[in-house]
Amino acid sequence: MLPTRYCSNSLLALGLVLILSGCLGRVSRPPGSAQLPPGPQVTSTSGEHLVRKGETLAAIARRYGTDYLALARLNSLSPPYTIYPGQRLRLPGSSLAPASALPTLPGGWTWPTAGATVRGFSASHGGNKGLDIAGQIGQEVRASAAGAVVYAGDGLRQYGNLLIVKHNEDYLSAYGHLQRISVVEGAAVSANQVIATMGSPGDGRGLLHFEIRFRGTPIDPTRVLPLPGGGL
């Protein structure tokens, strides 16, 4: 279960919301990046960089001798390229582990709601970073795994009412276009617990946008979810 300190950390919650907006917006230079001094080129044996307080995307890119736009695309970030302490960034030349090598989540995953997937995951820049699941407005949305609610609100218009659940140091899940949210920030939730009801993206149809992120990077949820129909 997630330590209590994460549940009350509003900065972490804000950071998690910002990374969910990583595939949106036009490309532009991070504020102040032109004034950054050149840094030494280094390599990482892990293929990842752990963000420290005060670091910017442009500074990290310079450190590893790469372009900040390439680093942004690799990590599905968009303007203003906000990153937060503790976030893990993939580096050019690294690759996300295959499904068989992804760390398992204690208790496993379940589908967050019943319905047909009308839009799947796309790893391309600007693509859909999760699944769009059709259903009825008002139908139950359940936690896909046990964890703690680190964000509940409507701070990102493109997601509507949004919930983010952190499961452990590797995984978080997000639930967008909600009609009603049944849990509050800081609440512990169990797998299959009703956490919200399905809303609409604004066109009158019932729809849930669902994402799973592994160390901050979106993955195709179908890689870890059970076969459709077996999770509810």
Query: How many angstroms separate the CA atoms of 18 and 182, rounded?
Result: 22
Label residue 31 by pLDDT band (50, 70, 90).
Answer: very low
Amino acid 20: pLDDT = 60
Percent of the chain scored above 70 by pLDDT? 73
* Angstrom distances, CA of residue 3 to CA of 8, 9, 217: 10, 11, 21
Q: Contact at 8 Å (CB) between 48 and 215? A: yes
Strand partners, 198: 178
Query: What average pLDDT does the segment 169-196 reach?
Result: 96
Q: Which of 59, 121, 79 is nearest to 96 (CA)?
A: 121
The backbone torsions φ and ψ at residue 223, rounded to the nearest 5 degrees and listed phi first, read -70, -25
Query: How many angstroms separate the CA atoms of 175 and 218, rounded?
Result: 13
Buried b (16+ CB within 10 A) or exposed e, 203-226: eeebbbbbbbbbbbbbbbbbebbe
How do beta strands 48-50 and 88-90 pair? antiparallel
Classify 154 as helix, strand or coil: coil
195: left (phi over 0), alpha (psi -120 to 50) or beta: alpha
Amino acid 71: pLDDT = 84
In this predicted model, which residue has the larger pLDDT, 101 or 95? 101
Q: Contact at 8 Å (CB) between 81 and 108? A: no
CATH 2.70.70.10 fits 105-223, yes or no: yes
Name the architecture of domain 4-90.
Roll (3.10)
User: 121, exposed or middle or buried, with CB in 10 Å at 0-12, 13-18, 19+?
Assistant: buried
Amino acid 24: pLDDT = 32
Domains of the chain by residue range: 4-90, 105-223
Classify 221 as helix, strand or coil: helix
Please determine, for residue 11, whether its predicted confidence score (pLDDT) is greater than 80: no
Provide CB contacts within 8 A for 40, sequence distance 6+: 63
Residue 215, both tokens: 């160390």
Please determine, for residue 148, whether its predicted confidence score (pLDDT) is greater than 80: yes
Q: Which residue in the block uniquely carries the two structure tokens 């670091």?
A: 55
